[in-house]
């Protein structure tokens, strides 16, 4: 990579870094993990920067790396549990912490499967269209629609359950 | 927490996620790691090419090995059942039999010939 391309890369990354970390936080509920994901995404983007630029939309590429990395972490953890012979815990149980002082919305997001969580973040936080979300996640628009609908329903049910417990 | 509708969810997400203040972007560290990834990929490509080249050189060498001489004292003929002076059918032959290869041509070539003659061409499976 020549110095001009390096400078372009640095400028692009300075601009995207906060959004990448926030996306990572929405996916993992953990700031350190979010920074790790964003850092890994930057490194991968650097390694393929000319190809990323040729593809036309570096943002899509970066988001996809973070989403895949987040999904990969869940799969690897489950694989380790299976190899140890443990009953795999639901992903949400591990993301919920005992000393949880995170905002209620983050806790509720961590109760969703990672696919639904991704759709919620891309669709409602990043304001992407269903087609754009489908492109980032590599699935159909119909799948995005159904995941979004299920996620919203779960978030509402979660709220009702919480209220019942309080009463 | 209460989520009324999509708009409400958007606002709540904005509030929660925009409150996260990440440190400065670690561009240099990312570039260093990116270079390592590039180096690893280059090594992978070189290793892949070496394997392909090895296969390209090794396989023809193996295929073009000169055929081992067949001992006349103990001909390498696999016969399921003795079939007298000739054979009725050959069901397979990996080596040329009487100058031909392939089961059908081998069968045609072998009809009526003694087994010892067939053995000179290589190994054959004979069926009575």
pLDDT digits (tens, 9 = 90+) for A64-92: 888 888 877 766 766 776 677 665 555 55
Q: Do B20 and A22 touch (CB under 8 A)?
A: yes
A18 contact residues in B (CB cutoff 8 A): 20-22
pTM (whole model) above 0.90? no
Min Cα separation B41/chain A (Å): 9
What is the least distance, in Å, from the CA of B37 to any CA of chain A? 6
Stronger pLDDT, A145 or B123, i.e. the higher one: A145
- Left, alpha or beta for A127 (phi > 0: left; psi -120 to 50: alpha)? left
ipTM over 0.90: no
d(CA A57, CA B1): 35
Contact check, Cβ <8 Å, B1/A9: no
- For the stretch A105-157, pLDDT in tens is 898 999 899 889 999 999 999 999 999 999 888 889 999 999 999 999 988 87
Provide the pLDDT for residue B104.
Answer: 46
**B105/A127: higher pLDDT:** A127
Is residue B50 within a helix (H) or strand (E), and if so which, with residue range? helix B27-63
The CA distance from B93 to B122, in Å, is 8
Q: What are the Cα distances from residue A106, in Å, to A109, A122, B21, B30, B75?
A: 5, 15, 16, 28, 80
B22-31, B37-46, B66-75, range with greatest mean pLDDT:
B37-46
Q: How confident is the model at residue B128 (pLDDT cuts 50, 70, 90)?
A: very low
A25 touches chain B (CB under 8 A): yes
pLDDT in tens, A6-38: 888 888 888 889 999 999 999 999 888 899 889
Share of chain B above pLDDT 90, in %: 13
- Which pairs from A162-166 meet CB under 8 Å and 24+ separation? A162/A104, A162/B1
pLDDT tens-digit map of A37-65: 899 888 988 888 888 888 888 888 888 88
Q: How confident is the model at residue B50 (pLDDT cuts 50, 70, 90)?
A: very high
Of A38, A47, A103, the CB nearest to B38: A47
Question: Shortest Cα distance from A85 to chain B (angstroms)?
Answer: 33
For A99-109, what is the mean pLDDT?
82
What is the predicted pLDDT for the residue at A122?
A: 92
Q: With a CB-CB cutoff of 8 Å, which residues 31-50 of chain A face chain B? A: 31, 34-35, 38-40, 42-47, 49
Residue A161 has pLDDT above 80, yes or no: no
Q: Do A31 and B20 touch (CB under 8 A)?
A: yes
**Whole-number pLDDT of residue A136:** 85
- Between chains, do B20 and A105 touch, taking CB under 8 Å as contact? no
Which residue, chain included where needed, has tokens 């073009």?
B64
């Amino acid at each position: 990579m020549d110095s001009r391309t390096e400078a372009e890369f640095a400028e692009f990354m300075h601009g995207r870094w906060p959004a990448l970390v926030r996306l990572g936080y929405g996916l993992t509920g953990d700031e350190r993990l979010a920074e790790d994901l964003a850092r890994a995404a930057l490194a991968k983007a650097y390694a393929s920067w000319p190809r990323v630029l040729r593809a036309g939309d570096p943002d899509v590429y970066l988001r996809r790396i973070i989403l895949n990395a987040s999904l990969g972490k869940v799969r690897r953890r489950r694989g380790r549990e299976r190899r140890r012979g443990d009953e795999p815990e639901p992903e949400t149980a591990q993301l919920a912490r005992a000393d949880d002082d995170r905002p209620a919305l983050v806790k509720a997001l961590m109760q969703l499967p990672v696919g639904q969580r991704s759709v919620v973040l891309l669709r409602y936080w990043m304001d992407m269209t269903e087609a754009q979300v489908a492109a980032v996640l590599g699935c159909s628009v119909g799948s995005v629609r159904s995941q979004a609908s299920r996620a919203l329903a779960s978030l509402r049910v979660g709220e009702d359950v919480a209220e019942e417990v309080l009463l | 927490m209460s989520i009324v509708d999509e708009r409400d969810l958007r606002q709540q997400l904005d509030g929660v996620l925009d409150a996260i203040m990440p440190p400065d972007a670690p561009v240099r560290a990312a570039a260093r790691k990116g270079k390592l990834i590039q180096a690893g990929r280059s090594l992978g490509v070189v290793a892949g090419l070496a394997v392909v080249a090895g296969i390209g050189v090794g396989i023809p060498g193996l295929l073009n090995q000169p055929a081992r001489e067949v001992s006349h004292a103990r001909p390498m003929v696999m016969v399921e059942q003795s079939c007298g002076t000739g054979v009725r059918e050959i069901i397979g032959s990996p080596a040329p039999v009487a100058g031909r290869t392939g089961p059908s041509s081998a069968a045609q070539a072998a009809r009526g010939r003694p087994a010892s003659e067939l053995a000179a061409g290589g190994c054959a499976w004979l069926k009575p």
